Amino acid sequence: MWVDTLRLGLFLCLMSVVAMPALAEKRVLLKTAVYVPLNLKGLGTIPVGLAEQLEQTSAGSIKFKLYGPGKLAAANQIFEAVHMGQLQAGYTTAGNQSGVLGRKAAFFSSVPFGPNATEYLAWLYHGGGRDLWQEMYRKAAFNVHAIPCGLLPPETSGWFSRPIDKPEDLEGLQMRFFGLGALVMEKLGVSTSQLPGAEIFPALEKGAIDATEFSMPSIDENLGFHKILKYNYFPGWHQQATLLELVINLEVWQQRLSDAQRAQIETACKATVLDSLAFSEAIQLPVMQRNIEERGVENRYWSDEMLATFKRTWLEVVAEESAKDPDFKRIWEHLADFRKSYAIWDRWAFLPPPGSRRAE
């Protein structure tokens, strides 16, 4: 009897020691600005799901209080507010930091004619891409810890009011365009602006812009582009995959969060990368069908001539930007070298060959 009692006592003692860190874990509230509206399904809802998951898995020790654009900071000011410590965290995309970091920041959002989702993740997690990402912020003395925390599949590459059959058809257009792809469009005679999502439809209504790209069909539907523009072009040559990031103030990351809490956030962001990609891939077809059958939208695939023009112009942009910024050149060459190796696997492993798929 006394042996059983001793065993029970030892067991309870051991369990109390194991449970003690969890019970003693300090609670952390992170005020987090999000660069898109929180109700924007498939984009703003991603950090909402992340916050819910972390509060549950951390037993309430990590709580993100989310604010939409303009509540605590404008969409293009989130990163600097986190750096300054005015916010504990922000949910955004690195391409939004091009104004303060230069064009190289956009490599960690999306790359024209660049990697698809799986190749992007391979480079990011196991090819050195994430190290370059954080190094970019560190070299610029930005006081943030960046975590990949969402991934979207290909976007559409534009909504237009008329067909675009040849490069000359682009000349003179006023168009909302994002990231490195905007530099390509500028060289082809398009005047671009990087309007936040909520401002695009009003700008189209007023005639301030003639055309736009933003995201996938499911997200574009929520913004109502189909009500004004009827020609939707594929593929998203400028954004074959789009990375999203959670940035946390470095002092908060290093001093206010425990090792366990940091691990929980990193793990939750990896799960968010998986879920955002899977969810986005699953929901595009019904939207495309509604566009065609109910809204009079015509889906168009860019001609070989147009795709060749976009790619040739992109390589011109790379040469120009590399000459201006050694870090742009270094990141580009690092990614290009990784892709040369990956291309062997890509060529042999997949059927049909990537790039040959066409919707009939």
Q: At 65, list the tokens.
A: 């209080």
* pLDDT above 60 for 2: no
Q: What is the pLDDT of residues 297-324, one digit of tens each?
A: 999 999 999 999 999 999 999 999 999 9
* pLDDT above 70 for 3: no
> pTM, whole model, 2 decimals?
0.88
* pLDDT above 90 for 146: yes
194 Cβ contact partners less than 8 Å away, ≥ 6 residues apart:
176, 177, 178, 179, 182
Residue 7 pLDDT? 43
Residue 1 pLDDT? 42
Beta strands 231-234 and 144-152 are unpaired
Task: Using alpha carbons, select from 149, 187, 192, 132 the residue that is nearest to residue 336.
Answer: 132
Q: Note whether 28-152+240-250+258-282 and 158-238+284-324 share their fold.
A: yes
> Taking the domain 158-238+284-324, which CATH number applies?
3.40.190.10
Per CATH, domain 28-152+240-250+258-282 is 3.40.50.150: no
Q: Which CA distances in Å does 10 have to 14, 15, 17, 189, 221?
A: 6, 9, 11, 76, 60
Q: What is the pLDDT of residues 99-128, one digit of tens each?
A: 889 999 999 999 999 999 999 999 999 999
Averaged pLDDT, 335-357? 83
The rounded mean pLDDT for the chain is: 91
- Longest CA–CA span in the chain (Å) reads 92
Residue 350 pLDDT? 84
Residue 355: band (very low, low, confident or very high) from pLDDT cuts 50, 70, 90: low
Residue 348 pLDDT? 87
CB 204 within 8 Å of CB 216: no
Beta strands 89-92 and 28-34 are parallel
**Domain layout of the chain by residue ranges:** 28-152+240-250+258-282, 158-238+284-324
d(CA 158, CA 142): 33
